[in-house]
Amino acid sequence: MWINLMFDCLLVVLILVLATGALFSTNVFTGIVLFISLGLAVTIAWIRLNAIDVAIAEVTIGAGLTGALFLGAWKRLEIKKRLQHSINITETKND
């Protein structure tokens, strides 16, 4: 009983730390990776709360696919930024 409660407390602290890290990190990529780990930590919390259905959905949809979406969008914006940058450089050269 006591050990269970300790585990819950630790898990809650971990979740809060991961959430803070994901939300307030200055680097976008770090934020996304921390968010995916938050999803995994939360999955454990769902299992602790006897919600196995939700845990499966969280690990596949919440952490997995949302993470993939974030990474895909991040990658695309990085490429876009690079392209924009190169266009800007060529434009200034032309001027």
Partner 1 sequence: MINAHDSTSLKNRYVFIIIMAISMLAGCVIYALLQTPAPQNIMYDLVQANIQQSGVTNPVTAILLNFRAYDTLLEFAVFFCVSIASLPYLDAGVSDSSDLETQDAPLFSLVKVLAPLTILLAGYMLWVGSFKPGGAFQAGALLAGCGLLLTLSNVGVTRMNGFWWRSIFSMSLIFFILVIGFSYLHSHTFLMYPTTLSGRLILFVEFAATFSIAATLYLCYLSVRGKVSQGAHRAS
Partner 2 sequence: MQAELYSVCGVILFALGLIAFLVKSGVFHKVLALNVMGIGVFMLLLATSAFYPNAIDPLTHGMVLTGIVVAVAGSALALNLATQIDLPLQSDEMK
With CB under 5 to 8 Å by kind, the binding choice for 9 among partner 1, partner 2, none is partner 2
Query: Is 83 a residue that touches partner 1 (CB under 8 A)?
Result: yes
Torsion of CA 77, 78, 80, 81, to 10 degrees: 110
3 state SS for 47-85? HHCCCHHHHHHHHHHHHHHHHHHHHHHHHHHHHHHHHHH
* C-beta of residue 14 within 8 angstroms of C-beta of residue 40: no
Residue whose pair of structure tokens reads 């999955």 in the numeric block: 43
> Contact region for partner 1 (CB under 8 A) — 7-15, 21-29, 35-43, 55-63?
55-63
Closer of 3 and 27 to partner 1 (Cβ): 27
Where do contacts with partner 2 occur on this chain (CB under 8 A)? Answer: 4-5, 8-9, 12, 15-16, 19-20, 22-24, 28, 31-32, 35, 38, 42, 45-46, 48-51, 53-54, 57-58, 61-62, 65-66, 69-70, 72-74, 76-77, 80-81, 84
